[in-house]
Structure 1
Amino acid sequence: MTPDEFIAKWQSTTLKERSAAQEHFLDLCQLLNEPTPASIDPTGDFYCFEKGAKKTTGGDGWADVWKRDHFGWEYKGKRKNLNDAFIQLHRYAPALENPPLLIVSDMERIIIHTAFNGTVSKVHSLALEDLRIPAKLQLLKWAFSEPERLRPTLTTAALTENAARQFGELAQTLRQRGHDTQQIAHFCQQILFCFFAEDIGLLPNKSFSKLLEIGQKRLEHLPLMLTNLFNTMATGGFFGTEEIDWFNGGLFDAVTPLPLTRDDVRMLRELARLNWSAIEPSIFGTLFERGLDPNQREQLGAHYTDPASIMRLVNPVVLDPLREEWRLQKIKIAALMKKADAAKSTITRNKTIKSAQALLSAVFERLQNFRVLDPACGSGNFLLLALRGLKNLEHDVILDAERLGLPRSFTLVGPENVLGIELNSYAAELARVTVWIGEIQWMLNHGFSLAKNPILKTINIIDQRDAVVNADGSEPNWPTADVIVGNPPFLGGSKKRGVLGDDYFSTLGTIYAGRIPAGADLVTYWFEKARSQIETKKANAAGLVSTNSIRGGANRQVLERICKTTTIFNAWSDEPWINSGAAVRVSLICFGNTEVTPVLNGEKVAAIYADLTESDNDKKLNLTTAKLLLENNNVSFEGTKKYGAFDISGDLARSWLAIPNPHGLPTSNVVKPWRNGKDIASRASDTWIIDFGLNTSEIDAALYEFPFQHLLNNVKPYRDTVRRERTRKNWWIHEEARSGMRKALTGLSRYLCTPRVAKYRFFVWLDKTVLPDTRLVIVARSDDMTFGILSSQIHQIWSLATCSWHGDGNEGGRPTYNAKSCFETFPFPMGLTPADTGSGIETLDSGAIIPTVAAEYRDHAVAIAEAAFQLNQLRENWLNPPEWIERVPEVVAGYPDRIIAKPTYAALLKQRTLTNLYNKKPAWLVNEHVKLDQAVAAAYGWSNELSETEVLQQLLALNKARSS
């Protein structure tokens, strides 16, 4: 059949839908040279006419044509309303396995609606005459044979990002004009909802777009027009000749449109052209919030957490338990309905059906009353996804129950099922709008009519307040809820005081004393609060996001407390995540009262420990039970935390060192070489530090003229802005000057250090004159025996098992060595512990240094020290080949020599770093470590062939024995 023949036949037909539909479709097959349904699928398994379908709104129906993974097709009679046909087909879509194309036709027109997941729907309309156009005919051919070719290129995520970015730019423009930020937020959200309402048909006949068009021409009348529209939406009524529904819900109660320029209106008109019905509110809210909030403006173009990642918490905590409850109830209901069908008397049948209905009613009541709390809800993405999940589940229950023979029910789950706490005023209001839009989208996408009068039901689901500290310094109460989910704020324990201020920091310490260590990250307070809610039966389970550092250090104590009162039943230990626009590594942790088999990183396990490792029932290895050992106390410390630009270049430092001070004391008293983690893992930069120690007064510090003036210019202005009073007041002193570390280093000529965060765990020596940064962990020992034990594989295994992890979205997590969990829990070999070895040292003929030890342990000490000394010498020769460098004495006697590359070796020397060395692992390095490992294993009395698990078992046993 040619296009002309097809057009001629169907232009003249007067047949009704029932008489014409199948013949029309068969003619299309002939026109397109496509097989007919029966010719390739005689059984109707994947391609057929009159495909039975269950409507999403309940009841049975029939799709006129269906082809799996291609289309659902619905016919109407000539010139009938094809939009009604599309709505009907949309209701069939789930029963038709959600085909990517939904096609409607009335014999004169064929309209193709794309329905690919994650894309903005596109509509292709073909009139009969269009079939003469090859490109139009090709569209129809692809629908039959290659539907993927019709997949829209615009994704809902891209549409949403673009909309949020442009809206954020408008908010920023309004803010630059001095308007109140809260008023800007409310005004922008009113406009946002108008765009959405217009595109889903709640604002009729493009009334908002027309208003903007007129307003651009007559700008002086725009504020009044917006006021009239918003007022009408608040109460319902007429806007011009258009009848407007009653929206209300609080969104349009306060009507104070801001003055807009023609450029503003031009931007709004461009925004109005977007398909707002397809906006993804679960990500729009986050992105829009960044545009509204001046503190997040720099993150406007940053990424967001995708919904699939959030569902890794929502599914196990919210939905999976409810799905299982319904599965069990459905079995009981099915059995009752089967019994009713077999009943011989009407009385018995009715009684049995009533029992089934009672079970179903209990399920609906459970879902209707189920509450999800997000105590750090932001713009509501967790709440919306939880609400969608609950509504989807309720809808499945409705359809399943109808299939079992019970009467159709109506959806009752709604915004009141989700609750939030949010301090940020922008986010709190936006969360409500996010939930509203998501609720309306769900209802329309499932073929339900919207309840009206008003359309936006007033929902008091978001409390705008602090979730962990009340204004009066007391602990806040959280509302009772079935479950708790969310992404609490990330703020490192070392930064809490500086960011939050002394008063808030002290209040946290008072409220949560004995429950949360002072050094724990801010996120742990939400974990403890959720644990408390579960313990007091105000919640049953929780699923929260944390940085992956929660697995170690002070943070892990919060998880240990959780494990004592409830159970971690699902966790992802180290995953990429987006937080406030930044890529980070996180742990996703679900805990609560449940009897399900625990799942860790997607695999079933016997149990999940507080460090987010799995238990081994055979080995029973739980490293979270390791205790701090007194024998290791006051040996390991973090370096100083400067909190300001105390670091200076070597050239500047040397220029100051040559200038006398008015009191005659040398500048070298307060200006020293400095090392941070990068200096150790790479090559040392020529960086020095101004260090006024612990208690130098401001008057005495001023006598060191140039260093003091530098701090006055470069540190004091910054310190004046911080909240912590001590940090502000003592602005010339490092924020954490580490008095314990300084005391422990007294009398030592050198000390050990390791970067806190590093790909490899290596230890190096630093001269006594070098000040370590906070990103270094130092060990106040000068002997090669301790260096050897810490550099051994045995200690490496322990440190990796007890460390926390640090990383970002571009790389895997890197181990973070913690002085407490990695060093102070580590059991040294018997007789060689820091407490056993005293302060005396002995230099061996090789040059290796050992501490004084009991005679029966000396041979082990010597063997370890000799191997460690040799390893260090070879490493140093590789790092700084004598032929490539010159050692230049420093300007201050006693300071370490400067290492300067000879002219032809500068580039080569840059590549000589410890990280590069351990990346390569040359044979000589491996051999030296093997010798060292053998010496250390012998000191423990162990075979050198132990597996990592066996090493950890032995060390844990030693830890328990020594800490009991």
Structure 2
Amino acid sequence: MTPAQFIQKWTNNDLNERAGAQLHFADLCELLGVEKPYDPENYCFERGASKTSGGEGWADVWKRDHFAWENKKPGRDLKAALKQLTDYALNLDNPPLLIVCDRESIEIHTAFTGYPHEVHRIRLQDLLDEKPRQILRWVFTEPEKLRPIKSTAAITEEAAGKFGDIAEAMRARDLPATEVAHFLIQCLFCMFAEDEGLLPRKLFTTLLEKNLAKPERVTDRLTALFKAMQKGGDYGDDEIRWFNGGLFKNIAIPALNSDDVFRLHQAALLDWRAIDPTIFGTLFERGLDPKKRSQLGAHYTDRASIMRIINPVIVEPLAAQWQSTRSDIAEQLAKSKKHNDAAYKKAQKTFQHYLEMLRNFRVLDPACGSGNFLFLALKALKDLEHRANIEAADLGLQRQVGIEVSPANVLGLELDPYAAELARVTVWIGEIQWMQANGYPLNERPLLKPLDHIQNTDALIDLDGKATAWPACDAIVGNPPFLGGSKKSGELGRAYFDALNRLYDAQVPGGADLVCYWFHKAREQIAAGQCLRAGLVSTQSIRNGSNRKVLDAIVADAPIFNAWSDEPWVNEGAAVRVSLVCFGIEPTVGWVERSDTHHQIDAAMGIAPAGLHPSYACLDGQPVARINADLTVGGDESSCDLTLAKPLAENAGVAFQGPEKNGAFDITGTQAREWLKQPNPHAQPNSLVLKPRLNGQDVTSRYTDGWIIDFGCHLSQDEAALFELPFAFVEMHVKPERDKNKDKNRKKYWWRFGRTGEDMRIAIKDLPRYIASPETAKHRTFVWLNGAILPDKKLIVIARADDTTFGIVHSRLHEVWSLAQGSIHGDGVEGGRPRYTPTTTFATFPFPAGLTPADTIHGTVSDGELVLPKLSEQYPKAAIQHARAIAAAAARLNTLRENWLNPPEWVTRIPEVVAGFPDRIIPKPEHAAALKKRTLTNLYNERPSWLARAHEKLDLAVAQAYGWDDYTPVMSDEEILRRLLVLNLARSHG
């Protein structure tokens, strides 16, 4: 069929709608040279004709992953046809193109996720040209070619960037930042309202365009416009709708110049209908808040990440409740004999009860930022109501005319005034976009409902110095602020820090991360019956240490039913790793048997797959019996709840954190060696207060020849002053800073370290060497340090000198335990570094019987090349044999490793200027470059075969000391942990 023939046949064709629809489509296929519908599962007429209520299908023509097509007779309302396709898009697998046609014209509406809506209109006469015909061929063959060029995210980023530039230029003239931000938020809403048709066409853009060189007139015009939007009324010849909502309550336009007007005009030319509410607030907050300006262009949290909390806390239980309600309705309608009889009325009432429940459902974000969680929660509720409306109509009920879920359903608390106002605008814009896209009427009189329930307030401490009362709600979601426990006082101020401790000390440890307070308050809300469920984002460290006390309480009162233990996230523009934790009253409504279509709908909405009952917990996307407080699997025989592990008495007083200097006590090796040669007035050598110093980086990389001035724990100022040169250095470089220190002891004893580590010093005093491990490192490695070396606070010291203890802690068994029990330090995009502590990791580890730290003593005995613990003669012979086997494997590992790190052929060992200090290791010039690459980190990154085999032999020797004759390298970490936990519990309760 030629274009002319097609046009002639279908011009003024009088076939009725039903008779002409399929014939018109078939002719169009012939014209374009594409296949006609042939496959009921992928490409067919009348898709969904077998729907519950019978009758016509959801679409006249449907092609999977391509389009849904609705044909109408000429003169019919294409908007209504588009509304039908929009209503049933979920049932149709969300095709990227929605097409409506009345034979005289074809409208192609793009519906690509994450891209703006575009419309291609092709009239009948246009088909004479090749270009429109090619667009139609793409509909059938390559719909991706119709995807808009810019995504909604890209458009939003561009708009935020332009506003950021305007804000920065205005603030540079010393205009108040809050005044600038409020004005620009009003402007951006006007730009959106103009493009959405809520203001007269191009009114705002034209106002700016006509007055580019007259900023004073722009000020007058905008003042008049904002006043008209405030209450509704006339603006020139145009009638302005009543917007209200509070956005235009305060009108204070800052002094504008021509450049401001030009930049605003350029921003107004963008397509503001396409901005993405899921990232809108975050990006604009960065531009408008001078403290966050540097984050423009940085990452932002995507929709899918946020939905990992919204889905289990809000969508899944409410969707499950609808499926139960839907089954009840179907059962009631099956008893109905005629419309409006008792059974029908009961079904209609059941439907109304579900809608009323949605209308009254409240979601609170107590750290709402600029509103992305609130918008997605609101959208989820509106989607659920929309879906219920459609499915109720399919069942034969009278559907609700409008949509009643509204911004009143979302509540927020936010301390930052910029963010709080943007959160309100985010919700307004998202609401308007959703209603427009789904064909529902907007609010009138006023168009914007006030959002006073998104409050600019502190979520933890109110103005009266009391704990902030959170409003009652059904669900709590959000991304509370991340701030490590050690940084709280400095960042928040001492008064606020002290108030937190006063109000929450009984429930939240003072050293806990700031985010823990939100978890605690959410648990309190649930326990008080003021909330059903909560889902919050936290740093990974919430699983361990003092933070875990909060999760322990949650597990006891409000079980964790969904969690992601280690996920990528974006916080303040930085890519980090986090834990997502959902807890509270578990949903009790199960998943009913579903059709394939409904499973597809669920998948499109991100709802849990069929077969997963909400009463099962879900960890990292997998159903589990229970989730422990450290976000591991619990509740079955194979699970292992390490939160039950306790510190063991036999491990006490052995592991320590190195001293913390709190001042500039460091000196170079060159300086130290010069001072070591110098005499003192009291004839004592400087070697008593000058020591080589190693930190975590020195262990994992290479020693940088750092030394430190150490006046110990008890030297008085007069005694310290007799070490003339070291004391003068400390007096010059440390004292000025200590004089400002708020800690009285550190200020008084300024010549000593802030934390001297006396307990550690006593423990290693008589040891020729001791074991050390970096507090945080990619690989859990242990090394020997000479007893004369002073460890930094970033090293964990184990006060033992025997190869047996070294071998046990360097075995896979101890590594697995330390990784499971330790916390994660840092939250970088590649994940934080495992953290080793004397308390959670060492103190709880059950050593083999007879070889615990209580069984070894500081004194050592040589046994050939081995250094064995001095064990009592009464110990079983087997324990001594195991000690020798472990020691031999450990000594071999250490020798091989040292030979790789410092090959004798590549280095020269030079005795230190003072006896007793370890030799200096100097690279030979020809090997210096290669030696730099020989680090523990690089070695364990590569893990060559010889290293792996040496560790396997050590692991086997340690496992045999436990009596695990079945141990092999393939034994799972979970089994190792389970066995060790049994030992820990037996000893801690023994």
TM-score by length of 1: 0.90
Residue 440 (structure 1) aligns with = 432
1:364 aligns with 2:360: no
| Aligned counterparts, 1:662-681, within 5 A | 672-681=691-700
1:100 aligns with one of 74, 79, 96:
96
- Alpha-carbon distance, 1:480 to partner: 1.6
Residue 625 of structure 2 is matched in structure 1 by: 606
Distance 1:928 1:127, change over 3 A: closer
Q: Which residue, 44, 47, 59 being the options, matches 2:44?
A: 47
What's the CA shift string for 1:320-372, capped at 9, x where partnerless?
Answer: 1111122112211211111122x7xx9xx732233223322321222111111
State how far apart, in whole Å, the 2-side matches of 1:435 and 1:663 are. Answer: 75
Deviations 1:650-679 (A, max 9, x none): 456667767889999877666643333232
Whole-Å separation in 2 of the counterparts to 1:894 and 1:107: 97
Task: Describe the shift of the 1:936–1:108 C-alpha distance in structure 2 as closer, same or farther (beyond 3 A).
Answer: closer
**Matched residue type, 1:392:** D
2:538 to 531, 546, 557: 546
Query: Which of 871, 887, 893 is residue 871 of structure 1 equivalent to?
Result: 893
User: Cα offset for 1:460?
Assistant: 1.9
Amino acid at match of 2:468: P
1:64 Cα shift? 6.0
Question: 1:485 is matched with which residue?
Answer: 477
Quick one: which of 293, 308, 311 aligns to 1:315?
311
Counterpart of 1:846? 865
Which of 526, 529, 548 in structure 2 is aligned with 1:556?
548
TM-aligned CA distance change 1:441 to 1:854, over 3 Å: farther
Q: Partner of 1:177: helix, strand, or coil?
A: coil
Aligned residue type for 2:554: I
User: Amino acid of the residue matched to residue 43 of structure 2?
Assistant: F
Alignment partner of 1:382 out of 373, 376, 395: 373
Are 2:576 and 1:579 equivalent residues in the alignment?
Answer: no
> For the structure 1 residues 740 and 422, does the alpha-carbon distance in structure 2 shift closer, same or farther, using more than 3 Å as the test?
farther
- Whole-angstrom CA distance in 1 between matches of 2:60 and 2:958: 78
Give the drift of 1:927: 4.1
User: Which digits, 9 at most, give the CA deviation of each residue in 1:572-596, with x for residues without a partner?
Assistant: 1111111111111111111112150
Alignment of 1:935-954 (within 5 A): 935-943=957-965, 945=967, 947=971, 948-954=973-979
Using a 3 Å threshold, how does the CA distance of structure 1 residues 438 and 352 change in structure 2: closer, same or farther? same
Residues 92 and 555 of structure 1, relative CA distance in 2, 3 Å threshold: closer
Amino acid at match of 1:48: F
Percent identity, aligned pairs only, is 52
1:202 has 2:198 as partner: yes
The corresponding residue for 2:326 is 330
Select the residue among 521, 528, 531 that pairs with 1:529: 521
In the alignment, which of 150, 155, 160 is matched to residue 164 of structure 1?
Answer: 160
Report the CA distance between 1:263 and its aligned residue.
Answer: 2.9
How many residues are treated as equivalent by the alignment? 948
Aligned partner of 2:595 in structure 1 is: none
- In structure 2, the residue matched to 1:119 is 115
Which of the residues 178, 183, 187 maps onto 2:183? 187
Aligned position for 1:407:
398
Deviates more, 1:116-125 or 1:185-194: 116-125
3-state SS in 1 of match to 2:626? coil
Relative to structure 1, is the Cα distance of residues 861 and 30 closer, same or farther in structure 2, using a 3 angstrom cutoff?
A: closer
Alpha-carbon contact 2:48-2:56 (below 8 Å) kept: no
1:705 match: 728
Comparing 662-671 with 252-261, greater Cα deviation is found at 662-671
* Structure 1 counterpart of 2:394, one-letter code: R
Q: Indicate how the Cα distance of structure 1 residues 651 and 433 shifts in structure 2: closer, same or farther if over 3 A, else same.
A: farther
CA gap 1:92/1:319 in 2 versus in 1, 3 angstroms: closer
Q: 2:443 aligns with which of 427, 446, 451?
A: 451
Q: Secondary structure at the match of 1:900?
A: strand
Call closer, same or farther: CA 1:775–1:121 in 2, change over 3 Å. Answer: farther
Q: Who is 2:924 aligned against?
A: 902
Q: How large is the Cα RMSD of the aligned pairs?
A: 3.5
Inter-partner Cα distance in structure 1 for 2:752 and 2:250? 51
Distance 1:788 1:29, change over 3 A: closer
Query: One-letter code of the match for 1:290?
Result: R
C-alpha contact 2:480 2:537 (8 A) present in aligned 1: yes
Residues 135 and 690 of structure 1: CA distance in aligned 2, closer, same or farther (over 3 Å): farther
- Indicate how the Cα distance of structure 1 residues 7 and 258 shifts in structure 2: closer, same or farther if over 3 A, else same: farther
The amino acid of 1:270's aligned partner reads Q
Greater displacement, 535-544 / 74-83: 74-83
Asked whether the equivalents of residues 548 and 573 of structure 1 are also in contact (C-alpha less than 8 Å), the reply is yes
**SS of 2:854 mapped into structure 1:** coil
Does residue 29 in structure 1 map to residue 29 in structure 2? yes
Aligned ranges 1:392-403 → 2 under 5 Å: 392-403=383-394
Structure 1 residue 531 displacement after superposition: 1.7
Match of 2:940 in 1: 918
Query: CA distance change for structure 1 residues 168 and 358 in 2, over 3 Å: closer, same or farther?
Result: same
Which whole-Å CA distance do the structure 2 matches of 1:935 and 1:65 have between them?
Answer: 70
Matched, 1:150 2:146: yes
Find the aligned partners of 2:206 and 2:925 in 1 and give their Cα distance. Answer: 73
1:626-637, aligned counterparts within 5 Å?
Answer: 626-637=645-656
Contact 1:421 1:464 in 2 (8 A): yes
Gap change, CA 1:775 and 1:14, over 3 Å in 2: same
- Matched-pair contact (CA < 8 Å) for 1:502–1:725: no
Q: Greater shift after overlay, 769-778 or 542-551?
A: 769-778
Cross-structure match for 1:512: 504
Task: In structure 1, give the amino acid aligned to 2:262.
Answer: R
SS for the counterpart of 1:373 is strand
Most deviating of 938-947 and 229-238? 938-947
Q: 2:455, 2:397 → 1: CA distance? A: 39
1:773, distance to aligned residue in structure 2 (A): 3.4
Instruction: Select between 182-191 and 840-849 the one with higher mean Cα deviation.
Output: 840-849
CA distances 1:892-934 after superposition (whole Å, capped 9, x unpaired) = 5543333221111122212322233333444443443344334
How many Å apart are 1:302 and its aligned residue?
Answer: 1.0
CA change 1:861–1:100 in 2 (3 A) is closer
Residues 843 and 850 of structure 1 are in contact (CA less than 8 Å); yes or no, is this contact kept in structure 2?
no
> Aligned to 1:848, what secondary structure does the other structure show?
strand
CA contact (8 A) 1:571 1:588 kept: yes
Q: After superposition, what is the alpha-carbon deviation per residue over 1:38-94, rounded to whole angstroms, capped at 9, x for unaligned?
A: xx46x7983337987999xxx999866554443344567779886676556545644
Amino acid at match of 2:629: A
Partner of 1:474: 466
Contact 2:776 2:836 in 1 (8 A): yes
Give the Cα–Cα distance (whole angstroms) in 1 for the partners of residues 83 and 881 of structure 2.
86
Give SS of 1:705's match: helix
| Most deviating of 656-665 and 518-527 | 656-665
Q: Residue deviations 1:860-903, cap 9 Å, x none?
A: 44443343233222221221111100123445554333322111
Q: Which moved more, 1:665-674 or 1:262-271?
A: 665-674
Over 3 Å counting, the alpha-carbon distance change for 1:733 and 1:473 in structure 2 is farther
Deviation at 1:567? 1.2
The offset of 1:790, in angstroms, is 0.8
Which amino acid letter does the alignment assign opposite residue 441 of structure 1? Q
What is the CA distance between 1:390 and its match in structure 2?
0.9
Note if contact 1:887-1:897 (Cα within 8 Å) is conserved in structure 2: yes
Note the alpha carbon deviations across 1:457-492, whole angstroms, 9 max, x for none: 112222322223345543322222212111111122
Aligned residue in 1 for 2:364: 373
Q: Which runs of 5+ in 2 are unaligned?
A: 589-614
| SS of equivalent residue, structure 1 residue 205 | coil
Against the structure 1 CA distance between its residues 354 and 730, is the aligned structure 2 distance closer, same or farther, given a 3 Å change threshold?
Answer: farther
3-state SS, counterpart of residue 633 of structure 2: coil
- Provide the residue aligned with 1:956 in structure 2: 981
Cα deviation, 1:599-641, whole Å, max 9, x if unaligned, reads 1111111211112111262245322100112222232223345
- The worse-fitting range, judged by mean Cα deviation, of 220-229 and 690-699 is 690-699
Partner-residue secondary structure (3-state), 1:448:
coil
